[in-house]
């Protein structure tokens, strides 16, 4: 379906871009906040997530020496940050997209990714919190603040991505409702039978003029003799 202006929560395509109005949109604000939270998480883990002891120069993760904890936090943080940038650009060009099908797929991608990352941030928060509870603070005293910041902003990211999930679902629902309202049933109308030709009556039949009906002879009659 082409040209569904205003579909999926966006203005009609071809309008002028208003930066102030764009930034004030709830999903844009939530996306910016989510990007900042993701940046803080992976920056803390990359910068202070690995340390070494004087007796052992080998680097290990501050979360109970568990390399998977640091890798998980860095991985979801980097991907979340890149996804925020991607969907931010989608939000910028979304009103310029005139194809309703393309809008639908973009909204579904936003909906699916936001739901997945809400779940992954929840797993990450639980994972980092569990590993931190088993960590010896005397070994990571200097890096403790960065580790706590990673845990804290992982927790905040659950709610920021939950908001993105909510906004994406509302946009998808708006698109479905707009489609249902503008949908026209293509079923053709039932054709009426052909009417009889006007001015012709089938009630009575009239014999055409100048028509001679021959009478059947009752018997043989000889011709006259003159």
Helices 144-182 & 67-93, crossing angle to 10 degrees? Answer: 40
For residue 99, what are the β-bridge partners? 2
| pLDDT of res. 41 | 97
DSSP the chain: -B--TTGGG-PPTTPPP-HHHHHTSHHHHHHHHHHHHHHHHHHHHHHHSEEEETTEEEEEETTTT-HHHHHHHHHHHHHHHHHHHHHHHHHHHGGG--BHHHHHHHHHHHHHHHHHHHHHHHHHHHHHHHHHHTS-TTTSTTTHHHHHHHHHHHHHHHHHHHHHHHHHHHHHHHHHHHHHHH----PPPPPPPPPPPTT--SS---PPSS-PPPPPPSS--PPP--
7 touches 70 (CB < 8 A): no
Which has more pLDDT, 153 or 174?
153
Which has more pLDDT, 39 or 7?
39
**pTM score:** 0.74
Query: Mean pLDDT across the stretch 184-208?
Result: 52
| pLDDT of res. 141 | 82
Which has more pLDDT, 175 or 162?
162
pLDDT averaged over every residue in the chain: 82
Name the band, by pLDDT with cuts 50, 70 and 90, for residue 98: confident
195 alpha carbon, distance to own chain's centre: 52
């Amino acid at each position: 379906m082409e040209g569904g202006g205003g579909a999926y929560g966006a203005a009609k395509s071809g309008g002028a871009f208003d930066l102030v109005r764009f930034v004030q949109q709830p999903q844009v604000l939530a996306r910016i906040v989510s990007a900042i939270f993701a940046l803080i998480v992976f920056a803390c883990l990359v910068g202070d997530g690995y340390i070494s002891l004087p007796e052992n120069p080998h680097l290990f993760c501050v979360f109970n020496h568990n390399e998977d904890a640091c890798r998980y936090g860095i991985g979801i943080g980097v991907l979340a940050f890149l996804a925020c940038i991607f969907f931010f650009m989608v939000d910028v060009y979304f009103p310029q997209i005139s194809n309703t099908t393309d809008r639908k797929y973009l909204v579904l991608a936003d909906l699916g990714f936001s739901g997945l990352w809400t779940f992954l941030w929840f797993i990450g928060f639980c994972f980092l919190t569990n590993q931190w509870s088993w960590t010896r603070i005397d070994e990571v005293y200097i890096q403790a603040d960065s580790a706590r910041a990673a845990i804290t902003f992982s927790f905040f990211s659950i709610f920021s991505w939950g908001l993105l999930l909510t906004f994406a679902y509302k946009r998808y629902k708006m698109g479905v409702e707009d489609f249902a309202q503008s949908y026209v049933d293509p079923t053709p109308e039932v054709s009426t039978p052909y009417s009889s030709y006007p001015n012709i009556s089938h009630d009575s039949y009239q014999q055409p003029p100048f028509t001679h009906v021959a009478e059947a002879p009752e018997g043989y009659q000889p011709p006259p003799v003159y």
